[in-house]
Amino acid sequence: MADDTDWKIMISFLDFEKPIAELEARIAELRATADGSDLDIESEIDKLAKKSAGMLETTYAKLSPWQKTQVARHPQRPHFVDYLRLIFTDFVALAGDRTYGEDAAIIGGLATLDGRKVMVIGHEKGHDTATRIKHNFGMAKPEGYRKAIRLMEMASKFGLPVVTLVDTAGAFPGVEAEERGQSEAIARSTEACLALGVPMVAVIVGEGGSGGAVAIAAANTVLMLEHSVYSVISPEGASSILWRTPDKAADAATAMKVTAQDLLGLKVIDGIVPEPIGGAHRDPTATARALADAVGRELDALGRLSGADLIRQREERFLAIGSL
Amino acid sequence: MSWLDKVRNSISSLAKRDTPDELWMKCASCGEMLFIKEFEANLSVCPKCEHHGRIGAKARFDLLLDTGYTVLPTPKVPENPLNFRDTKKYPDRLKAARATNPYPDALTNAYGAVNGAKAVLGVQDFKFMGGSMGMAVGEAFVAGVEKAIAENCAYVIVTAAGGARMQEGILSLMQMPKTTVATRRLAAAGLPYIVVLTDPTTGGVTASYAMLGDVQIAEPGALIGFAGQRVIQDTIREKLPDGFQRAEYLHAHGMVDMVVHRKDLKDTLATLLGYLARKEVA
Ligand SMILES: [Zn+2]
């Protein structure tokens, strides 16, 4: 994998970043011709770089819900394996549901987060063709959720807090997933979250897609990265069902209120983890650090509650949603 | 709908009752022409092919509970906190659904007895916005379970839903953990939770309370699943197996305990409640 400092250079731009991409291309062109002796070119590069940085900042300060959806799905956005590498140490991967198989769409295991021993579980989408296929694009099957249940129960047994990183378009829609009880697996995984006698913190790091996300996100504290999204159905899905056209995804994203900022307002989540200017993919290291600090703070606060209080707090948290 | 429209509609439907169109219907499965009154007297099951038609909450209560049951009030929930509109405003869709349905949302509870065994029965009505699970369904489910705990009896839910109510966005999704809190509390009280899956039960409803029963019953032929068939077909690009996501298919794959004909449903529930009901403490 490329070093994080190279990342910036190879960044792939989103549609709405086109003016920034054009500026960056112009800067790269000038850099290629300049040898450092032409002060006019140097000052022009400097000027354009400042302009580009300014545009990036203003663009990201007012992303629309649909633009945020695209940022949340950016192929270079840090994924579970990146967080594992950047902020967790001594990871011991645990595999399999003991019933059917090992589903790499959900990764889990024992890990240490800034000195805290935890059980970490999350979706992994993969970053190139081979890994995307291996991880099934982050779309878990029943065995993935049943592995998550097994690991949560183990965490509860040994007093380890649970940290989940949510990043999925949704649970896998396939024949074999239905045959093996996708619905039951998701329902039981949600139930397992609610039964935990240890602290649980969930972070939506990219896409929080429907039941496949909530199955590992029924936590004491739910956080979202600044440009992540969380919704009951994809904007494309809502567009085709409610508007009966595939072209209204942007409207659907706005109407459904999918952003971290919207969800904090609705009290569905408890906090937002800030991303670097231009999104998590422009600085995975800084993103991961901010995430580790936020999760650590929440774990320490929850650590003061008894097991019974943790269960009660989690129950009250979800019972309150939609109650007058 | 205005008052005048309502009157007009009721008059026109009365008039239509006498026309042949209103007396006869075509079975949705085998196409047989059925005399509506006979079809309904047969519990809305086609006498020719045994296709189980969709029935509403009132018909379910009458079918499964002894006479003298009480319909419980539907809890009030925040109205349209997302200020949602697609091609129509969400409050307008709600209003339209309420104008044509007897109860104010898709899930209604009644307290009564099944052949003498007391129970709270929740029924989801597909006619109300596709039975979809929003805050009102979640809150009614929790209220039904709380009533069961208060009465020290079972909670039986008859499910029917196309999934989550998209017009409530994330708030509908959050009803999955919310209802699961309720099923956990029922279990902690040692009370039975029985699920009757009817046509169709899909999406977030299936992936939460509809799959957590102590006993899972399905009506014959009912479509039950997580993902929609079109979505699956778009993903795998091959033909779906015969009977895919139907009650019998789920039974064969170990996802439900039994497939029960509508005429036997009440007796089956009564037998189960007889075994599972909390023993009175002396
Ligand atoms: Zn028929």
Percent of chain B with pLDDT over 90: 85
Does the bond joining A246 to the residue before it have cis omega, within 30 degrees of 0? no
pLDDT at residue A9 tops 90: no
Higher pLDDT, A30 or A1: A30
Question: Which chain A residues touch B245 with a CB distance below 8 Å?
Answer: 178
B169:A256 CB<8 A: yes
Q: Give tens-digit pLDDT for A194-209.
A: 999 999 999 999 999 9
Q: How far is the CA of B35 from the centre of ligand 1 (A)?
A: 12
The verdict on A223 touching B (C-beta cutoff 8 Å) is: no
B49 is in an annotated binding site: yes
Q: Which residue of B has its CA nearest to A186?
A: B207
Residue A38 has what pLDDT?
78
Asked if residues A270 and B201 have their Cβ atoms less than 8 Å apart, the reply is no
Question: Which chain A residues touch B208 with a CB distance below 8 Å?
Answer: 186-187, 190, 211
Q: Give tens-digit pLDDT for B155-176.
A: 999 999 999 999 999 999 999 9
- B237 — pLDDT class (breaks 50, 70, 90): confident
Quote the CA–CA distance of B24 and B34 in Å, as a whole number.
Answer: 6
Residue A312 has what pLDDT?
98
Q: Which residue of A has its CA nearest to B240?
A: A175
Residue B42 has what pLDDT?
96
Q: How far is the CA of A113 from the centre of ligand 1 (A)?
A: 61
Q: In angstroms, what CA-CA distances link B182 with A149, A213, B29, B178, B212?
A: 19, 20, 36, 7, 11
pLDDT at residue B16 tops 70: no
Mutate to test the interface with B, among A172, A178, A222, A242 (most CBs of B within 10 A): A178
Chain B, residues 18-57, CB within 8 A of chain A, namely: none
B166:A233 CB<8 A: yes
Higher pLDDT, B261 or B12: B261
pLDDT at residue A147 tops 70: yes
For each of the domains in chain B, give its residue range(s) and CATH number, in order of start: 16-51 (no CATH), 54-276 (3.90.226.10)
Closest CA to B180 of A39, A108, A90, A321: A321
Mutate to test the interface with A, among B76, B82, B146, B178 (most CBs of A within 10 A): B178
Question: Which chain A residues touch B170 with a CB distance below 8 Å?
Answer: 230-232, 256-258, 263, 266, 268
Residue A291 has what pLDDT?
98
Residue B20 has what pLDDT?
60
Closest-CA distance, B34 to chain A, in angstroms, reads 32
Percent of chain A with pLDDT over 70: 97
- B281 — pLDDT class (breaks 50, 70, 90): low
Chain A, residues 162-221, CB within 8 A of chain B, namely: 171-175, 177-184, 186-188, 190-191, 193-195, 210-211, 214-215, 218
- A169 — pLDDT class (breaks 50, 70, 90): very high
- A4 — pLDDT class (breaks 50, 70, 90): very low
Chain B, residues 145-164, CB within 8 A of chain A, namely: 164
Q: How far is the CA of A181 from the centre of ligand 1 (A)?
A: 29
pLDDT at residue A324 tops 70: yes
Quote the CA–CA distance of A144 and A177 in Å, as a whole number.
Answer: 10
Residue B238 has what pLDDT?
79
Average pLDDT over residues A155-168: 98
- pLDDT, chain B, mean: 92
Q: Give tens-digit pLDDT for A34-62.
A: 776 777 888 899 999 999 999 999 999 99
Bin B213: left if φ > 0, else alpha if -120 < ψ < 50, else beta. Answer: beta
A191:B184 CB<8 A: yes
In sequence order, which residues have a C-beta less than 8 Å from that of residue A207 and are 6 or more positions away?
A69, A72, A73, A138, A167, A168, A169, A213, A228, A229, A230
Q: Give tens-digit pLDDT for A72-94.
A: 999 999 999 999 999 999 999 99
pLDDT at residue B279 tops 80: no
B153 is in an annotated binding site: no
Q: How far is the CA of B265 from the centre of ligand 1 (A)?
A: 20
Average pLDDT over residues B105-132: 97
The complex's ipTM works out to 0.94
pLDDT at residue A270 tops 70: yes
Neighbour tally for B54: CB within 10 Å:
17
